[in-house]
Chain A
Amino acid sequence: MRILPVARLFFVSVLLAAAGSSTALAADMIKIGALFPMSGPGSYFGVQDKQGVELALEALNKSGTKFEIQYEDSACSPLPATQAAKRLIDQYKPDVVIGEECSDATLAVMPVLAQAKVPLLNAGSSSIKITEPGNPWTFRIMPNEVMQGMDIATNAYKRLNAKSAVLLYENTNAGIGNAKVFGDTFTKLGGTILADIGFGRDVNDFTSIATRVTGAGKIDVIPTYTLEGQGLKITQALAQAGVTKGGGGGAIQLGTIWLPFGFEQKAGKAAVGYIRIVQFDPTDQRDQVKNFIQAFKTKYSQDPTHLNAHAYDQIMLIADVVKRGAKDAQSIRDGLAATKDFSGVTGSVAFDEHNQNIKMDTIHYMETLPDLSWKALGWN
């Protein structure tokens, strides 16, 4: 069959246009996979992460590039996380994956995603191993355990003039790692570790540990690395023993970003004087933070937490990379690696050669006042 040259030209043009439009359509939809713990003891992470993600997507999808998300329950554990990651890769085929919160689970899914050449953007896992040595496909926007531990120890020594400390930590990957970094840094600066006390997650009564702390001597600071449940019991036991400021003592308890918002209200007066780092400062006066808080309150009728905020930032960072021209897994990875000046509600992001965010303004120091409200110390 012969086709006239003009008709042939028209036919080819139509085909090219169709091909072009399908490419444009594909680039207009970014598929995000989310690995969040939505069952088990870590499910509170997943619920709050999801709220932050939904808020960000709602704002982004009103105009421009569309973002689509699929959540998978990774259960804060290596095997379920691996299964969930493989399901995402095989069935959903995401351009980028966000999550997990627990270091063990994150470390387990990293090789799976690297093999599939899909970037993983992590916000909540603090283990140093995630980025040291890490892999080219994994990025973390939160300071790692070493950065956090060194920063807390330095501020304790230099700003609080602390010379002695007692380390309290749960026997987990993150607990041991964080406590060790604090201890090493504090000792190097000239401080003394009076006691190094690790405990299992099954410990419920901290009276004996508080008694042991009482007998350790004059304590300036007590860095404490636990999740909320044990954290509350420790804070109350230390106050009851008259060790910490909340119980009329002189020691300042130092806490981590693991504790959720509302911890002080649950701990009551025992938390007075508690200084801890949070990943999101609700007293931050930047417009984007005020807008985020307002939008969050409007949608959920509650105040946002750091988990809401860091999940929100994960999506916004992906949107920023897409705005810079990324349209698939490889270009999103490259865009993330090139990120040097992203400003989110938790702070700013600039990745080093290991894909670790080097900006320390993503952690904020808060002191608990007698009315249990926070005073931002502005140390970072």
Chain B
Amino acid sequence: MSDAYSAAGRARWWGILAAACVIAVLPLVFRDSYWRTNLIVCALNVMLAIGLDFVVGYAGQLNLGQSAFYGIGAYVSTLLIMRLGLPFWPAFVCGVVASALSGMVLSLFAVRLRGHYLAIASLGFAVITYQVLLNWISLTQGPLGIYGIAPPPPVGLPGWQIDFTDLANLFYLVAGFALLSYVLLDQLVRSPIGETLTAIREDEVSAASLGINARLWKVFAFAVGTAVAGGAGCFYAGFVGTLVPDAFFITESFNILAMVIVGGMGTLSGPVFGAILLTVLPEFLRGIGDLRLIVYGLALTLVVLFMPGGIAQALRLARDRLMRASSRQTAGAKP
């Protein structure tokens, strides 16, 4: 048993190493600014999707307010930089902390709710946040927008300066954070904390009978998942250079949830695939013009219909079939 566990652990680390290699190679393969832009959007969406999956897929808390935490991270960091002159990285930390604190505040109120009720409460939070961003014009500029937001400042290394106005470098930065977030969440879900969250998701009453403080752990899950979304928001502002409240409208929450569902809820790798697919597919389909969104919608419907467990489940099934076929072949080859 422990051998199987350590083999699975090794495979996971090999997978993470492979992902790091893919991240390193991607900007070298995609050299134009359009595809490098799409790569950065993919990395941002991966952060948003895995953050949401931690709350929805592992802790079982249906959060429809991820767009709000994304927006809070973006606005807090940008306002600190542009109004108070704070450097990017302290502002980044503040953006992440502000999102996490907002997530904790929401979860403190929503901790008594479950299922649909929690979904509506979190949706309400997203609506309130959007309205605040839109109407508190003296602070956020509201619909007038904030323009000319600079990307993260260059990082100086001995004899080398990494400039984030270069899209390849910016991709390495955002994707690096996405990978770091993935590793941290992966460690969490495979630790006793992950088992605790799964226990709460499966049966809160039984979990409580084992001495698990469900409220505390739900607050924790919200804080972690929304902190990751806040980080994505901080990068978004510097990447797009423009901040308007419409970028964090509630429909964005549904897009992020779709990434989690299409990828496979409750598996960290699934939302990564979901985020990449749902970011890249509409871009690939640009060539077919007006039919683009019809084909996109159809593709999503087919995925949900024929792969109810998402891409992760489909990949797992395909792998199992391959392994069964190969073991049958090996057995048949024996004398």
Which residues does A use to contact B, with CB under 8 Å? Answer: 38-39, 71-73, 77-79, 82-84, 86-87, 89-91, 104, 107-108, 111, 129, 171-173, 175-177, 200
Contact = CB atoms under 8 A, between A and B. Distances in A.
Chain A CB within 10 A, most for which of B144, B286, B292, B293: B144
Contacts of A82: 37, 240
B161 to A, nearest CB: 20
Interface stretch (B134-142, B207-215, B224-232, B302-310): B134-142
Contacts of B135: 171, 200
A56 to B, nearest CB: 19
B286 A87 contact: yes
A62 to B, nearest CB: 24
Interface in B278-313: 283, 286, 289-290, 292-293
A84 B292 CA distance: 14
Contact of A176 (B37, B41, B137, B290): B137
Contacts of A73: 286, 292
B41 A79 contact: yes
Contact of A83 (B34, B134, B290, B292): B34
A114 to B, nearest CB: 12
B33 A129 contact: no
Given A90-B33, A108-B240, 14 more contacts: A39-B292, A72-B286, A77-B246, A79-B240, A83-B37, A84-B286, A86-B32, A87-B283, A90-B32, A91-B32, A171-B135, A173-B145, A175-B143, A176-B137
Contacts of A104: 145, 242, 244, 246
Given A79-B41, A104-B242, A89 B33 contact: yes
B196 interface: no
A177 B144 contact: yes
B240 A89 contact: no
Contacts of B33: 86, 89-90
B131 interface: yes
A1 B55 CA distance: 77
Interface in B6-61: 32-35, 37-38, 41
Nearest to B147: A107
B77 to A, nearest CB: 17
Given A71-B289, A73-B286, A176 B144 contact: yes
Contacts of A108: 240-242
Interface residues of B, number: 28
Nearest to B137: A176
Closest 4 CB pairs of A and B: A90-B32, A86-B34, A90-B34, A172-B143
Chain A CB within 10 A, most for which of B32, B34, B37, B286: B34
Given A90-B32, A104-B242, A200-B135, A83 B38 contact: yes
Contacts of B292: 39, 73
A24 to B, nearest CB: 28
B246 A91 contact: no
A72 B288 CA distance: 11
For the residues of A in contact with B, the DSSP-based class is helix
B41 A107 contact: no
B126 to A, nearest CB: 13
A73 B41 CA distance: 17
A226 to B, nearest CB: 13
A129 B141 CA distance: 14
Contacts of A173: 143-145, 244
Nearest to B251: A40
A78 B41 CA distance: 13
Nearest to A92: B34
Contacts of A129: 147
7 contacts: A39-B292, A78-B240, A78-B244, A86-B37, A90-B35, A107-B145, A176-B143
Contacts of A71: 289
A154 B293 CA distance: 45
B35 to A, nearest CB: 8
B82 interface: no
Nearest to B249: A77
Nearest to B30: A90
A76 to B, nearest CB: 9
Chain A CB within 10 A, most for which of B35, B37, B143: B143
B86 interface: no
B317 interface: no
B247 interface: yes
Contacts of B35: 90
Contacts of B242: 78, 104, 107-108
Interface in B147-174: 147
Contacts of B145: 104, 107, 173
Contacts of A78: 240, 242, 244, 247
A352 to B, nearest CB: 21
Given A91-B34, A104-B246, A129-B147, A83 B131 contact: no
Contacts of A79: 41, 240, 247
A125 to B, nearest CB: 12
A83 B283 contact: yes
Nearest to A71: B289
Nearest to A77: B246
A37 to B, nearest CB: 12
A171 B246 CA distance: 12
A269 to B, nearest CB: 32
Nearest to B148: A111
Contact of B134 (A72, A77, A90, A200): A200
A328 to B, nearest CB: 20
Chain A CB within 10 A, most for which of B41, B135, B241, B242: B242
Given A77-B246, A83-B38, A171 B240 contact: no
